[in-house]
Structure 1
């Protein structure tokens, strides 16, 4: 499966249920909420922007970010996941790059922040490979890493 056919599409009536059916691997379940909870959250917090991740016209993942700045004066990534059957193919990294490009369009976008549990090595490897830096910021049990999108 090539990443050239990966795209992100705003959540809609045609793809929301497919996103609810997606699952992460067993060892990732402790680190991420089910997509159905994230989708419900987006309906009560309208600044959250949920997207389906497609690969070759099939829904294979889900992501969500906030369209207003929060802590650390940045826009926050709330969720990103790829179904367990499609992991390890570069889809998550490519979709994250697409998400960063979308977030860069937000007003006064200077930095993007994502929080994750320090034991989540998959998240750590993904974000560090995309230039996110750990400046030591911690929020509860999560570490927050930052990517500057303007130099």
Structure 2
């Protein structure tokens, strides 16, 4: 299995919009179409298609400027329901961390998610993100020092 990231462009944006989550997972995340639209108004957001063996399998997005907690924030990571359970999300997140580590003064990555989102919790905990007790509305924020 070969996982890679490719910036959203005119050739892949629509296919990313067609990806889906389970009904339960969709409660926790905006659609990819909304996320891609958001990047047109917030140019510091960097959207990527996740490819697995040259097929689009997911979407992710992060901010290229520091925000709360003096860290770079992950905005979205999703893997299409049909492609889940294969390690694609974990490998894509690892690749994203490598990209984010290239940002100026990158020493901290932060991601927020709903505490009931067990899939997100398992993903981030498995990659070394720790809960330092920060909360933003309904979401908890976890941190990875790089």
What TM-score do you get using the length of structure 1 for normalisation?
Answer: 0.96
* Counterpart residue number, 2:39: 42
Query: Which of 63, 77, 81 pairs up with 2:78?
Result: 81
Report the aligned-residue RMSD: 0.4
Q: For the residues of structure 1 that align with 2:114 and 2:15, how far apart are their CA atoms?
A: 26
Is 1:56 the counterpart of 2:56? The answer is no
* Counterpart residue number, 2:4: 7
Query: Which of 87, 92, 112 pairs up with 1:95?
Result: 92
- Residue 27 of structure 1, CA deviation: 1.4
Structure 2 matches for 1:10-25, cutoff 5 A?
10-25=7-22
Q: For the residues of structure 1 that align with 2:21 and 2:103, how far apart are their CA atoms?
A: 29
* Counterpart residue number, 1:124: 121
Which deviations, in whole Å up to 9, do the C-alpha atoms of 1:37-87 show, x marking residues without a partner? 000000100000000000111111000000000000000000000000000
Q: For the residues of structure 2 that align with 1:79 and 1:33, how far apart are their CA atoms?
A: 8
Unmatched tracts of structure 1, length 5 or more: none
Q: For the residues of structure 2 that align with 1:19 and 1:53, how far apart are their CA atoms?
A: 9
